Amino acid sequence: MLIIPAIDIKEGKCVRLTRGDFAQKKIYLDNPSDMAVIWRKQNAKMLHVVDLDAALTGEMVNFEKIREIVGILDIPIQVGGGIRSAEAVRKYLEIGVSRVVIGSAAVTNPGLVAELLKKYRPSQIVVGIDAENGVPKIKGWTESSDMKDYELALEMKKLGVERVIYTDITRDGMLQGIGYETTRAFAEKAGMKVTASGGVSSSEDLHKLRSLEKFGVDSVIIGKALYECNFPCQELWYAYEQGLGIDGEFSTARKKECFPQA
């Protein structure tokens, strides 16, 4: 199962939210590119980058920050957040983004998804379904769809979409465990490739998710659990963090959390 670290960008900084609540924001690093370097040095094979400002406004607010990340890394970058036009998709793919995640537009403008799949490969166009109690939420999770999560997935499947990023909003950023039952129910009904997201808190969650591989769940996006140093192997990584060339508040705080005796 592919593990994909997440980098959420708001006002140019690397942050994490709790259940998508912009009022519950924690800044981890001022420069998202530094965060990208850390995850790459810790052997990430792909990154999931979200423009949180764009998710609310539909404007590519942090485009230059994302361009910078793509330019310095040698791994695929998957980008989401407020991508609601063919022009936005074109701009991201032109700077080297590997996958573009269509979220709200899959609900409000499914014709856009159909248009994109005529021009780009299915591997480049991914649909993000962020659901609360089985109902997709859109526009920065501020509005609800009038269909079920799996119904939206099946509509996208008809258009040629092959992969969905499925987020259980009730779990996102809570560090209380993955929404295993909701993810399983969704994957079974959708019958697509699924990247799970939201709530991963420990390696136990990853072991549970592996049992869903037979339903198409082949990857997982992890955010806060990585930032809060919840995995034992991170102790070793941070012990050698000096070699990453990253200094500052994140570096110092993470070392103290992993090595309180230091």
What confidence score (pLDDT) does residue 140 get?
Answer: 66
The overall longest dimension of the chain from CA atoms, in Å, is 57
- Alpha carbons 166 and 173: distance in angstroms, whole number: 14
- The vertex-64 CA angle with 60 and 67, nearest 5°, equals 105
Give the pairing type, strands 135-138 and 193-197. Answer: unpaired
User: In this structure, which long-range contacts are made by residues 233-238, counting pairs with CB atoms below 8 Å and at least 24 apart in sequence?
Assistant: 234/42, 234/258, 235/259, 237/41, 237/42
Mean pLDDT for 219-234 is 82
Are 163 and 126 in contact by the 8 Å Cβ rule? The answer is: yes
- Alpha carbons 171 and 169: distance in angstroms, whole number: 5
Are 78 and 98 in contact by the 8 Å Cβ rule? The answer is: yes
Mind telling me the catalytic residues? 8, 130
What confidence score (pLDDT) does residue 227 get?
Answer: 84
Convert the pLDDT of each residue in 132-163 to its tens digit.
888 898 776 677 788 999 999 999 999 999 99
The model's pTM: 0.85
- Alpha carbons 161 and 139: distance in angstroms, whole number: 21
Mean pLDDT for 103-128 is 95
Closest CA to 81 of 18, 165, 20, 139: 139
Q: What is the mean pLDDT of the chain?
A: 85
Q: Is 230 exposed, middle or buried (0-12, 13-18, 19+ CB in 10 A)?
A: middle
| Token pair belonging to 231 | 């995995």
Give me the residue label for tokens 């890394």. Answer: 73
Structure confidence at residue 69 as a pLDDT band (50, 70, 90): very high
| Token pair belonging to 155 | 């509509």
Are 218 and 192 in contact by the 8 Å Cβ rule? The answer is: no
Whether 18 shows a pLDDT value over 90: the answer reads no
Which residue segments constitute the domains of the chain, with CATH numbers given? 2-258 (3.20.20.70)
